[in-house]
Copies of this chain bind each other. A is one copy, B any other.
């Protein structure tokens, strides 16, 4: 099914589009969506763009009971010359299938996924916003739909793509946030599903996130589940630390998501000849670096925020303020460069941007 014919059914009842100056994350959805079904023995079939609408499922569908689901997230941007571009979508299809494999879900042909996304965006091209900092967030996902309560992989699935116009993540520029170092709850462990983009990882994070919010922190810093001391992620982002001129990020160890912004930041830093290290880094090493004044910057990376500077870490009743709670120079430079490439304001030396 490498050259799929995607049927298109247009809405007869288009929605009013939200004010581009008042967009928030994940709230507004475009007029259409993509669906493709899977049945064992038949494979993926009936790829189609249809009006955005509720889906109707048997309440025994496995997704409601056993969490057999995976997703992706990426963005489309409207350029100054009114083209629509995507950021590294090939990386998303690649990770989608790695997640599928871990969750015992059949692979989706990347060419079909790409053609589905192109077709959907062309139909809903007016939903790609043009205000500075805005973008179209894209949510591909797979859910298990067989109505059978035995614990076993589903024989039926749906692959869908939704589109959400989203606002500038930072309305007033990069804004460092305070982070709580989580010591009770664990996000994931080696041998589990931490490196797959699957619902269970996010469900497991909610309780700790609520606790951090109650203490006045924006996110949690996750420590590893085995030693409870090595840094894993921050909130639902990868995390970077600049210590004494070197940028350090936790190595992909099986429990950390292989973030596309993460790998883009690493490639960018290396192209700038900034020393980077992918390795284990413990919270104790960070505390020590803070004490001796070499913890210079910290930031999270992810599709939604791109770069999220960390202003302070709360650990063991101590507050480690980083760079006077200001966005660091390197964090700013990385943010400006990546968002510049994404929106085609800057040249694209790495071949990251694809026109729809």
Contacts and interface: CB of A to CB of B under 8 A. Distances in A.
B54 A65 contact: no
Copies of this chain, whole number? 2
A29 B147 CA distance: 10
B54 A56 contact: yes
Contacts of A69: 64-65, 67, 203
A131 to B, nearest CB: 20
A275 interface: no
A151 B186 contact: no
A59 interface: yes
B210 A203 contact: no
Contact of A191 (B143, B151, B186, B190): B186
B203 A192 contact: no
A345 interface: no
A298 interface: no
Given A184-B191, A191-B225, A209-B151, A60 B29 contact: yes
A153 B206 contact: yes
A27 interface: yes
A26 B67 contact: no
Contacts of A57: 54-55, 57
Contacts of A101: 207
B63 A207 contact: no
Nearest to A193: B204
Contacts of A58: 54
Contacts of A243: none
A83 interface: no
Nearest to A187: B192
Sorted nearest first, the 4 A-B pairs with minimum C-beta distance are A200-B200, A67-B199, A26-B149, A186-B191
Interface of A: 25-27, 29, 33, 52, 54-60, 63-69, 71, 101-104, 137, 139, 141, 143, 147-153, 160, 162, 164, 184-193, 198-207, 209-210, 225-226, 228, 235-236
